[in-house]
């Protein structure tokens, strides 16, 4: 039997962990996702099991207590999790980006302090660049950190759209420090901000107002963050050097884009699975709708899109794992996988006829989750900007 989204050349460990996550998703996530999503309930029991499985430390080096696995292993696990419920993959997404940035750019002291606790899931990361006035145009960030005479910083400003804003305990946030550089992005610095979980003024000068009410991607908390005279120490600057934040965050976003592609693959696979099953059960005009060529062709198109997205995602992950820059490959994978995911969920919805519009059917949730993938970690337009700029430079005449 032809199964979609197979990956050749995996190690024994990769095959084992991906299959363990798949079984976990079939047994624990798919049966509960619908109810938790509709009641917008945080999937605590699922998250606890993910901690036990070591998923929070998947890419954290073994010397810090993680599993030291590759981006590819991580992405394949995310694909499986998102196949069950996109919100569950969102719980580890920002955590993984922050751990990656600390691993790549943190000082030794920051690695020692955070990575072991992040590997167990005791410390949980959130990633904050966006503000109410900006998301794509990161260089325009307004939140400001002003250096004090004792070397500390005072941060003021408002951040927007923090995935895991309330449930995280470590926020990597990008703010303006005004280094006097002529290029705006060189005036930005990443701070590692520790805080307790919860809502309200959780530490002096730092408020998480509450959960934003969203179209989909429910269960998981997405919040604002308000800095009002928040004091950060010089040691909280990622890597200990100011003015490097933009590059550090963009490095994080690059692996994050592979992760979003993997999520799009997972949601697309599930949409296909639901459609191919329903098309064989639902009868019209005396036969299963799968026997009407128009429906069978939809299935063929969906499967081809799922397969293409998976291959692009795997290619982008492998490129990063090989040590090569993967901005174009990650941008292409993110762009293609999220657009295809949107199309595939729409096709699956149509195959479900009227039942696709019912909250009893899973496809309804996928239809609300998929649009986020077109936006998160940079919209499709931003991916096309990145891809075309590099192509015009590489193919310059």
Contact positions toward ligand FAD, by CB under 6 A?
94, 127-130, 134-137, 161-163, 214, 217, 222, 372, 375-376, 378-379, 381-382, 385
Shortest Å distance, C-beta 205 to ligand FAD: 20
Residues in Cβ contact with 275 at an 8 Å cutoff, skipping those fewer than 6 apart: 298, 299, 302, 347, 348, 351, 352, 363
29 or 86: CB nearest ligand FAD: 86
Helix, strand, coil % in the chain, rounded to nearest 5: 55, 15, 30
Residue 200 burial by Cβ neighbours in a 10 Å radius (0-12, 13-18, 19+) = exposed
24 or 230: CB nearest ligand FAD: 230
Q: List the one residue out of 310, 308, 334 whose CA is nearest residue 386.
A: 334
Active-site choice (131, 339, 362, 377): 377
User: What SS3 class is residue 270?
Assistant: helix
Residues 185/239, Cβ–Cβ less than 8 Å? no
Shortest Å distance, C-beta 98 to ligand FAD: 10
User: What SS3 class is residue 202?
Assistant: strand
Shortest Å distance, C-beta 154 to ligand FAD: 22
Q: CB neighbours (10 Å) of residue 315? A: 18
20 or 380: CB nearest ligand FAD: 380
Shortest Å distance, C-beta 94 to ligand FAD: 5
Residues in Cβ contact with 61 at an 8 Å cutoff, skipping those fewer than 6 apart: 68, 103, 115
* Spatial separation of the C-alpha atoms in residues 210 and 166, rounded to whole Å: 8
Q: In the structure encoding, which two tokens stand for residue 386, read together?
A: 């990145």
Shortest Å distance, C-beta 163 to ligand FAD: 3
Q: Which residue is nearest to ligand FAD (CB)?
A: 135
109 or 215: CB nearest ligand FAD: 215
* Spatial separation of the C-alpha atoms in residues 176 and 164, rounded to whole Å: 23
316 or 386: CB nearest ligand FAD: 386
Q: List the one residue out of 330, 354, 340 whose CA is nearest residue 257.
A: 330
Where do the H-state alpha helices sit in 86-138?
86-105, 108-120
User: Which H/E stretch holds residue 157?
Assistant: strand 153-163
307 or 364: CB nearest ligand FAD: 364
For residue 16, indicate whether it is catalytic. no
Shortest Å distance, C-beta 173 to ligand FAD: 8
Please list the active-site residues.
377
């Amino acid at each position: 039997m032809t199964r979609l989204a197979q990956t050749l050349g995996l190690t024994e460990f990769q095959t084992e962990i991906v299959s363990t996550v798949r079984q976990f998703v079939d047994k624990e996530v798919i049966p509960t996702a619908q109810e938790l999503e509709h009641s917008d309930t945080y999937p605590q029991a699922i998250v606890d099991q993910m901690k036990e499985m070591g998923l929070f430390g998947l890419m954290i080096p073994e010397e810090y207590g993680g599993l030291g696995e590759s981006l590819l292993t991580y992405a394949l696990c995310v694909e499986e999790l998102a196949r069950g419920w996109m919100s569950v993959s969102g719980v580890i997404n920002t955590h993984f980006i922050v751990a990656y940035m600390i691993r790549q750019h943190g000082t030794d002291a920051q690695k020692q302090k955070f990575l072991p606790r992040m590997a167990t899931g005791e410390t949980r990361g959130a990633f904050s660049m966006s503000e109410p006035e900006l998301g794509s145009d990161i260089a325009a960030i307004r939140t400001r950190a002003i250096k004090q005479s004792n070397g500390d910083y005072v941060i003021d400003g408002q951040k927007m759209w923090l995935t895991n804003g309330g449930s995280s305990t470590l926020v990597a946030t990008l703010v303006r420090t005004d280094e006097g550089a002529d290029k705006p992005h060189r005036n930005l610095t990443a701070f590692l901000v520790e805080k307790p979980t919860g809502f309200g003024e959780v530490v002096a000068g730092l408020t998480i107002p509450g959960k934003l009410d969203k179209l989909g991607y429910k269960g998981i908390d997405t919040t604002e963050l308000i800095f009002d005279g928040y004091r950060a120490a010089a040691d909280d600057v990622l890597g200990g050097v100011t003015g490097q934040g933009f590059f550090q965050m963009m490095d994080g976003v690059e692996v994050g884009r592979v992760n979003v592609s993997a999520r799009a693959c997972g949601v697309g696979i599930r949409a296909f699975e639901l459609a191919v099953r329903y098309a064989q059960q639902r009868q019209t005009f005396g036969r299963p709708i799968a026997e009407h060529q128009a429906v069978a062709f939809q299935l063929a198109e969906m499967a081809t899109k799922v397969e293409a997205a998976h291959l692009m995602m795997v290619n982008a992950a492998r490129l990063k794992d090989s040590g090569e820059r993967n901005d174009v490959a990650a941008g292409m994978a993110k762009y293609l996988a999220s657009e295809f995911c949107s199309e595939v969920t729409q096709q699956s919805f149509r195959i479900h006829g009227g039942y696709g519009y019912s909250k009893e059917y899973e496809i309804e949730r996928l239809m609300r989750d998929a649009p986020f993938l077109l936006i998160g970690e940079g919209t499709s337009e931003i991916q096309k900007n990145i891809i075309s700029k590099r192509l015009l430079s590489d193919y310059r005449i």
